[in-house]
Amino acid sequence: MATVIVGQRLEGVPLALALSLAAVPALAVLVSVGASQWLVLRHHVDGAGWWVAANASAWLLGMPVVFAAMGLVDEDTPFAAVAALASASGLLMGAVVAAVTGGVLVWLLRAPSGHQLAADAGQAAPGGTLRPT
């Protein structure tokens, strides 16, 4: 319903302006998920800042799967077909997001940390503490 109301108010607004206005809150939501997770990851993984970009990229790659699938649906599509298409595309979106974020998490966990390198050299890590590995 909100889409219909906002859509009616945007009639006559140039498409470029409408997309620009939509991009700001969309970007905020996209970054906020990874940034929230980064708040926890930064205490456990060096280079956790990459997580924000990786998470945003994963969703940017995953969401079009659902949009493309739902673009195949019209008012004549039987409910069972819509349900099957929505379920399949949702699972595929989840697989894409999991593959990207999982790959980045493995990369982050395997990367040598400055803390581990300092421990191997018998030196204190930056800040004077060692993180458990």
pTM of the model: 0.71
| Domain ranges, ordered by start, for the chain | 11-113
Which ranges in the chain belong to alpha helices (H)?
2-9, 15-41, 50-70, 79-110, 114-120
- Better pLDDT: 10 or 22: 22
Q: What is the C-alpha to C-alpha distance for residues 122 and 55, in angstroms, rounded to an integer?
A: 35
Please say whether the beta carbons of 97 and 58 come within 8 A.
Answer: yes
Q: Is the pLDDT of residue 119 over 90?
A: no
Q: Write down the residue that tokens 């699972």 correspond to.
A: 91
Q: What is the pLDDT of residues 40-76, one digit of tens each?
A: 999 988 899 999 999 999 999 999 999 999 999 999 9
Q: Give residue 73's Cα distance to chain centre.
A: 25
What pLDDT sits at residue 86?
A: 97
- Would you state the structure tokens that stand for residue 77, as one six-digit string? 């599509």
Q: What is the pLDDT of residues 66-96, one digit of tens each?
A: 999 999 999 999 999 999 999 999 999 999 9
How does residue 113 score in pLDDT terms, banded at 50, 70 and 90? low
Q: Is the pLDDT of residue 19 over 70?
A: yes
